[in-house]
Amino acid sequence: MDQKFVSSAEIEEARKKRAEEWKAAYERLGEKPPVVEEEYDPRTLYEKLQEQKMKKEEAFQEMTRFSNLIHRLDEDEIDFLATLEHEQRGKEMEKMKKVEQELEEFRRAAAKADEEATPKLVIQPEIISAPIKTSIKKDTQRMILEGAIKKINVPSRKRSLNDDDTQSSNSNEQSKDQKPSLLAYSDNSSSEESTD
């Protein structure tokens, strides 16, 4: 009959044999085998399972303990916290106003110091005289117009001196007649005003 009972000596021999095989395998690879020692626990399986169950329950209770500590706020507590928050905001606003006032005072003092430190420059305005308009332009225009429009009378040889005298007197009269018309034309001209 086979023995179904395994002694601790046989277990130790099997463990040593396995350890030697692992050691030989690691030596072939050139590495050191990890040192693993199994702790012998003489407790039964039931005892081991009960211990794990207790650890899980303790962890669960630790997590739920904090959720039980939270309680809801009453209306009185809400009002109290609101007044505290309002007071804190008021203090912060006063602090911000004070800081801004101090900054503004500093800026004013710095600007005043800059003004005192820099010499003031006096700028004297220069008097620029307006160009004097002369009537040279009108005179030159008149001269150009008189020179541009001229009637040339060429006396013919066949005419007599009397005819020449009458024609010259007629031409003088015509030129006199033309001059006032030219003067009138140039005086009433709006082109002279636009060119000024």
Residue 136 and residue 192 in contact, taking contact as beta carbons nearer than 8 Å = no
**In terms of residues, how long is the chain?**
196
In angstroms, the Cα distances linking 131 to 51, 193, 194 are 115, 16, 17
Q: Poorest-confidence range of 64-73, 98-107, 156-165?
A: 156-165
- Nearest CA to 142 out of 184, 183, 188, 181 is that of 183
pLDDT band of 124, cuts 50, 70, 90 = low
pLDDT, tens digit, for every residue of 5-42? 788 888 899 989 998 898 888 888 888 777 767 778 88
Q: CA 143, CA 182: separation in Å to the nearest integer? A: 11
pLDDT, tens digit, for every residue of 129-153? 655 555 555 677 777 777 666 566 6
Quick one: which H or E segment has residue 83?
helix 75-117
Q: CA 64, CA 10: separation in Å to the nearest integer? A: 49
| pTM value surpassing 0.75 | no
First to last CA, the chain: 145
Q: Is the pLDDT of residue 159 over 60?
A: no
Question: Given this model, what pLDDT does residue 39 score?
Answer: 76
Question: Given this model, what pLDDT does residue 46 score?
Answer: 95
Within 8 A by CB and 6+ apart from 175, the residues are: 150, 151
pLDDT, tens digit, for every residue of 43-97? 899 999 999 999 999 999 888 877 767 777 889 989 999 999 999 999 999 999 9
